[in-house]
């Protein structure tokens, strides 16, 4: 400018500091858009013909880029795409792969929100979903021909069934069906499903990736082509992760291995104790030899632990399960999982309320089933807490 800018102009057009030194924390680019030096550069970036950021909603942001690159590295995939939540991530995967008149295949054992997405939301788009027992490989193989995609959870919510990723990935490849997996309960520390042929590896970053109960986010790790498909969908539908949440995810990833080891140790201690208690009818934890998929989990997780999630069937049905939760003092009655605090919830009335009683029975969710997300507290305090709670049931 040939004249000195006015006060408001100077206030708006501040000076951005130049940074040449590395920091352990990625900067938060808390911005919705980015400036271009020319209209041609703007047009080329909008068409993804040149590198650069344009608009945080799907068109790039350095903080989101850093988180996605880190997730791709940890899941050993070519690329990743971040989302506003785990459900936004799954919704984008499913609607990017299936169109009206299409059919998908999924496991019967699913998180209640995912189940509702398959049974209530996708049918509005003219997409049907066949639910099959993922441990019945013959049933999966019979359902796959012509499917738009197949979806399963590495560790199912809440019965902790463990998917035979190698066998399922091979089946999907043989039938030319894209394979999708929710790896939230396992985290990339325990297993990388892409190594077994899964094309889309989803996470609710709200859980173990963030790890501190202070963010909502999702991410899908996939190929470059897969990311382009998801990106083109999310640009039109929204659901993009925010820069601050991406920064929180990056912070969480630094301690993911340490936390998952502690979560797994605490869950194993709880499962062992609860498994021998007379007021507990059954414990679902893949680390126990009594779990039907223990051998699959043992081979899949390669001695890194069996995760921080377990479920217990308390004697007394609904009343027994709720009474147990209500009597706990260290553990919190709360939604979500995978963070610092131990959390519990009665599955039938909360996380899986979308299931009918019949559908819950098919999925193996008993009336008194309580889901436990083991936190990182001292194990002895958690054991004492469940002991005194069971005394009151």
Give mean pLDDT, residues 162-169. 98
The pLDDT value given to residue 352: 67
pLDDT at 380: 98
317-327 helix and 379-391 helix, angle to the nearest 10 degrees: 130
When pLDDT is cut at 50, 70 and 90, the band that residue 129 belongs to is very high
The per-residue pLDDT for range 54-105, each reduced to its tens digit, is 999 999 999 999 999 999 999 999 999 999 999 999 999 999 999 999 999 9
Say whether 339 sits in a helix, a strand or coil.
coil
**Is 196 among the catalytic positions?**
no
In this predicted structure, the answer to whether residue 15 has a pLDDT above a threshold of 90 is no
| Residue from 115, 164, 182, 251 carrying the catalytic annotation | 182
Q: Mean pLDDT throughout 246-271?
A: 97
pLDDT confidence of residue 354: 72
Query: At 126, is the pLDDT very low, low, confident or very high (cuts 50, 70, 90)?
Result: very high
Q: Find tokens 């209209």 and name the residue.
A: 39
**b/e per residue, 189-226, with b = 16+ CB within 10 A?**
bbbbbbebbbbbbbbbbbbbbbbebebbbbbbbbeeeb
Is residue 207 annotated as a catalytic residue, yes or no?
yes
Instruction: Kindly tell me if the per-residue pLDDT of 348 is higher than 90.
Output: no
C-beta separation of 284 from 158 below 8 A: yes
236 given a catalytic annotation: no
pLDDT band with cut points at 50, 70 and 90 for residue 356: confident
- Buried residues in 65-100 as b, exposed as e (16+ CB within 10 A): bbbbebbbebbebebbbbbbbbbbbbbbbbbbbbee
- Please give the distance of CA 365 from its chain centroid, rounded to a whole number: 20
> Lowest-pLDDT range, 94-103, 110-119, 325-334?
110-119
Tokens of 106: 């999924």
Q: Work out the percent of the chain whose per-residue pLDDT is above 90.
A: 84
What confidence score (pLDDT) does residue 116 get?
93
Q: Which residue in the list 196, 200, 207, 259 is annotated as catalytic?
A: 207
Does the annotation count 392 as an active-site position? no
Burial of 105 (0-12, 13-18, 19+ CB in 10 A): buried
Contact 169, 179 (CB under 8 A): yes
Contacts of 6 (CB under 8 A, 6+ apart): none
Distance CA 217, CA 320 (A): 33
Structure tokens at 136: 């019945």
Q: Is the peptide bond before 111 cis (omega within 30 degrees of 0)?
A: no
Give me the mean pLDDT over the 278-296 stretch: 96
Alpha-carbon separation of residue 240 from 1, 244, 254, 273 (angstroms)? 37, 12, 22, 42
Does residue 317 or residue 198 have the better pLDDT? 198
Alpha-carbon distance of 166 to 154, in angstroms, equals 11
Q: Taking 80 as the threshold, does the pLDDT of residue 349 lie above it?
A: no
Q: For residue 240, give the nearest of 113, 16, 84 by alpha carbon.
A: 84
Model confidence pLDDT, tens digit, residues 359-391? 777 667 778 889 999 999 999 999 999 999 999
Identify the structural domains of the chain with CATH numbers, from first to last.
Answer: 39-254 (3.40.640.10), 256-391 (3.90.1150.10)
């Amino acid at each position: 400018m040939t004249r000195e800018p006015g006060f408001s102009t100077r206030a708006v057009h501040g000076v951005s500091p130049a940074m040449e030194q590395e920091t352990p924390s990625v900067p938060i680019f808390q911005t919705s858009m980015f400036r271009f030096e020319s209209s041609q550069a703007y047009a080329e970036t909008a068409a993804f013909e040149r590198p650069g950021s344009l608009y945080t909603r799907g068109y790039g942001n350095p903080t989101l880029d850093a988180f996605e690159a880190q997730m791709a590295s940890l899941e050993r995939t070519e690329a990743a795409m971040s989302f506003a939540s785990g459900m936004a991530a799954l919704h984008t995967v499913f609607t990017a792969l299936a169109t009206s008149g299409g059919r998908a295949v999924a496991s019967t054992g699913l998180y209640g929100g995912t189940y509702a997405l398959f049974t209530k939301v996708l049918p509005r788009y003219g997409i049907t979903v066949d639910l099959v027992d993922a441990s019945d490989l013959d049933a999966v193989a019979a359902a796959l021909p012509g499917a738009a995609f197949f979806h399963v959870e590495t560790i199912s919510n809440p019965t902790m069934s463990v998917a035979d990723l190698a066998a399922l990935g091979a089946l999907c490849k043989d039938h030319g069906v894209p394979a999708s997996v929710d790896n939230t309960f396992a985290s990339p520390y325990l297993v990388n499903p892409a190594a077994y042929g899964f094309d889309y590896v989803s996470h609710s970053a709200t859980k173990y990736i963030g790890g501190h109960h202070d963010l909502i986010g999702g991410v899908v790790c996939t190929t470059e082509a897969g990311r382009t498909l998801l990106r083109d969908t999310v640009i039109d539908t929204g659901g993009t992760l925010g820069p601050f949440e991406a920064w929180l995810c990056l912070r969480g990833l630094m301690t993911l291995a340490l936390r998952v080891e502690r979560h797994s140790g605490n869950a194993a201690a709880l499962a062992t104790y609860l498994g021998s208690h007379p007021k507990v009818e059954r414990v679902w934890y893949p680390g126990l030899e009594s779990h039907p998929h223990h051998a699959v989990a043992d081979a899949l997780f390669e001695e890194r632990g069996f995760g921080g999630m377990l479920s217990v069937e308390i004697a007394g049905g609904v009343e027994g399960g709720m009474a147990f939760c209500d009597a706990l003092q260290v553990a919190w009655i709360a939604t979500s999982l995978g963070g610092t605090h131990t959390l519990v919830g009665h599955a039938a009335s909360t996380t899986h309320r979308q299931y009918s009683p019949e559908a819950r029975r098919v999925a193996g969710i008993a009336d008194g089933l309580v889901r436990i997300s083991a936190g990182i507290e001292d194990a002895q305090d958690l054991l004492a807490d469940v002991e005194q709670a069971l005394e009151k049931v």
